[in-house]
């Protein structure tokens, strides 16, 4: 018998100085702009920010980012590296994290393994001034993964130096990141923390996992097929069950493909399906976040975020593969997150956005009942959610995510804060 520990009240919910979303009669993008105030001052900040960006520049060279240069962080780099906006003394450290951590060190198995960008990033952080609060955007990367990579890199160094078995491996990059004032995160790691019985880290501010603007899915206002749609890879245990367990009802069709079979390889087809479907399943992947959340909102579909407690693919994180490669994180069995607790950690919750108003939230144990639940929504309720989805769309584009980062930093600076703070801390 599973013991259920109900995490009712989500820790760290409302970032105090952030304005809350206006009524939907207001244009969201204009509203974002109207709340962004740049700091004017003639002191050492500009020179320091310039120096830090110059240190970042070599990481964007083609040898590092040529592969898969499609993420939001590229747009941020292009927008900010020449004219960095100023909010208080917040200083941007803009790096292509996914390339540094995953594509060079993580996915590329030996002999191509290359930890040099990871070490160069650690060297960059060791040069940062303790007098300025720093800001990072961890686009498709997270601190836990960086720690794992750093340990692996340290172990490899120890093996090369013929000193195996050395237990204390230096992790300078993870250590430095834990001290960064504001970390915009894209993998919803706070959900993983809650599932493991820990509190979210207040320095982490969630952003949706997004591709850069050139990959944006256009919205559609055409009549939608009354169906649940899913295509995706098998990056979580939950995804393996969807094709079997999501069954059509009398009034709601399903087009739920088996994971791993025909997904985003044909991106235009995939995008067209998002544009045609009423509901799009956005189940967690290897990490709690998924690109599908933003893609569905961009297309104008109701995104159903499905969460499952921390279930990781052993091999990909360096552990042993058991039972299809997935293993549960400690304490995940005992933890059951309520919808409210999940919603509180989703992107833009701290602006007052509730996912239940945009699409829907479900957990892995609710999968079988999900079609009936969605089919039972009143037509007026569905229309309201479609309108809300269309209204919040700017926040789920690269441009809107950039404005949100600026809004957060502007609000913190206006409040005289050097790091995020919440109403319960
Ligand atoms: C920024 O740092 C400078 C020192 O470089 C300091 O004099 C100034 O007061 C700080 N400004 C803000 C807005 O925190
Ligand atoms: C999206 O819309 C824009 C302008 O409306 C158009 O130029 C572009 O080709 C569209 N993209 C896709 C993938 O359909």
Residue 6's pLDDT band (boundaries 50, 70, 90)? Answer: very low
Which atom in ligand 1 lies closest to the alpha carbon of residue 44? 5
pLDDT of 283 over the 60 cut: yes
Residue of 37, 39, 41, 130 best suited for mutating to test ligand 1, as the one with most atoms within 8 Å of CB = 41
CB distance 357 to 385 below 8 Å: yes
User: Could you tell me the maximum CA-CA distance found in the chain, to the nearest angstrom?
Assistant: 68
Question: From the centroid of its chain, how far is CA 408?
Answer: 16
Task: Tell me the two tokens of residue 3.
Answer: 């013991």
* Residues present in the chain in total: 425
**pLDDT at position 2, please?**
35
The model's pLDDT over 18-67, given as tens digits with 9 standing for 90+, comes to 999 999 999 999 999 999 999 999 999 999 999 999 999 999 998 888 77
39 close to ligand 1 (CB < 6 Angstrom): yes
Ligand nearest to the CA of 44: 1
- Of 364, 189, 361, nearest to 286 by C-alpha is 189
Mean local confidence (pLDDT), 256-283: 92
The model's pLDDT over 307-343, given as tens digits with 9 standing for 90+, comes to 998 655 544 444 444 445 566 655 555 568 999 999 9
Q: Determine what percent of the chain is predicted with pLDDT higher than 70.
A: 85
Which is more confident, 159 or 360?
360
Ligand 1, atom 6, lies closest to the CA of 43
Distance, CA 92 to ligand 1 centroid (Å)?
15
Contacts 24+ apart (CB under 8 A), 55-60: 55/124, 55/127, 56/81, 56/93, 56/94, 56/95, 56/124, 57/81, 58/120, 59/95, 59/96, 59/99, 59/100, 59/117, 59/120, 59/121, 60/96
CB distance 173 to 121 below 8 Å: yes
Residues 6+ apart with CB under 8 A from 28: 21, 22, 391, 392, 394, 395, 400
89 close to ligand 1 (CB < 6 Angstrom): yes
Locus of tokens 């097929």: 225
Distance, CA 141 to ligand 2 centroid (Å)?
29
**pLDDT at position 195, please?**
87
The model's pLDDT over 166-211, given as tens digits with 9 standing for 90+, comes to 557 889 999 999 999 999 999 999 998 888 888 899 999 999 999 9
Which is more confident, 184 or 260?
184
Which atom in ligand 1 lies closest to the alpha carbon of residue 132? 2
Lowest pLDDT segment from 105-114, 122-131, 227-236, 289-298? 105-114
Residues of the chain by 3-state class (helix, strand, coil), percent to 5: 45, 15, 40
Residues 6+ apart with CB under 8 A from 299: 217, 218, 219, 220, 271, 274, 275, 280
State pTM to two decimals: 0.91
pLDDT of 158 over the 80 cut: no
Which is more confident, 124 or 323?
124
44 close to ligand 1 (CB < 6 Angstrom): yes
Structural domains in the chain, sorted by start: 13-212+400-414 (no CATH), 217-395 (3.40.50)
Which atom in ligand 1 lies closest to the alpha carbon of residue 39? 13
**pLDDT at position 389, please?**
98
Distance, CA 401 to ligand 2 centroid (Å)?
20
Ligand 1, atom 1, lies closest to the CA of 89
Helix (H, G, I), strand (E, B) or coil at 345: coil
Helix (H, G, I), strand (E, B) or coil at 13: coil
The model's pLDDT over 53-111, given as tens digits with 9 standing for 90+, comes to 999 999 999 888 877 889 999 999 999 999 999 999 999 999 999 999 887 766 554 45
Distance CA 106, CA 121 (A): 15
- Of 139, 141, 259, 144, nearest to 192 by C-alpha is 144
**pLDDT at position 113, please?**
67
pLDDT of 416 over the 90 cut: yes
């Amino acid at each position: 018998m599973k013991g259920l520990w109900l995490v009712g009240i989500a820790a760290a919910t409302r970032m105090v100085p952030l304005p809350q979303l206006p009524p939907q009669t207001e244009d969201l993008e204009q509203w974002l702009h109207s709340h962004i105030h740049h700091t004017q001052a003639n002191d050492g900040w500009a020179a320091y920010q310039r120096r830090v960006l110059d240190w970042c520049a070599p990481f964007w060279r083609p040898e590092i980012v040529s592969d898969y240069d499609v993420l939001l962080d590229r747009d941020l780099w292009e927008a900010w590296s020449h004219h960095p906006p100023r909010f208080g003394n917040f200083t941007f450290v803009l790096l292509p994290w996914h390339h540094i951590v995953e594509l060079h060190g993580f996915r590329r198995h030996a002999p191509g393994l290359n930890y040099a960008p990871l070490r160069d990033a650690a060297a960059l952080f060791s040069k940062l001034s303790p007098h300025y609060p720093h800001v990072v955007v961890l686009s498709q990367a997270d601190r836990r993964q960086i720690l794992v990579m750093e340990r692996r890199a340290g172990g490899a160094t120890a093996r090369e130096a013929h000193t195996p078995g050395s237990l204390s491996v230096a992790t300078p990059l993870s250590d430095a990141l834990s001290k960064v004032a504001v970390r915009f995160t894209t993998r919803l790691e706070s959900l993983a923390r809650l599932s493991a019985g820990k509190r979210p880290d207040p320095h982490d501010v969630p952003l949706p996992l997004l591709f850069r603007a050139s990959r944006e899915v256009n919205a559609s206002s055409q009549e939608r097929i009354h169906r649940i749609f899913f295509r995706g890879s098998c990056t979580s245990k939950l995804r393996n069950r969807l094709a079997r367990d999501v069954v059509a009802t009398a009034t709601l069709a399903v087009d739920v493909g088996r994971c791993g079979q025909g997904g985003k390889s044909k991106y235009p087809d995939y995008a067209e399906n998002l544009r045609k479907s009423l509901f799009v399943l956005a189940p967690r992947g290897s990490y709690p976040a998924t690109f599908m959340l933003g893609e569905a909102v961009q297309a104008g579909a109701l995104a159903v975020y499905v969460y499952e407690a921390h279930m990781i693919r052993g091999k990909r994180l360096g552990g042993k593969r058991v039972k299809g490669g997935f293993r549960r994180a400690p304490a995940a069995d005992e933890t059951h997150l309520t919808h409210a607790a999940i919603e509180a950690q989703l992107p833009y919750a701290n602006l007052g956005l509730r996912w239940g108003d945009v699409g829907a939230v479900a957990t892995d144990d609710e999968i079988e009942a999900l079609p009936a639940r969605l089919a039972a929504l009143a037509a007026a309720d569905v229309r309201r959610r479609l309108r809300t989805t269309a209204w919040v769309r700017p926040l789920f584009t690269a441009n809107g995510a950039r404005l949100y980062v600026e809004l957060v930093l502007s609000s913190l600076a206006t409040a005289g804060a050097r790091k995020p703070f919440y109403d319960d801390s």
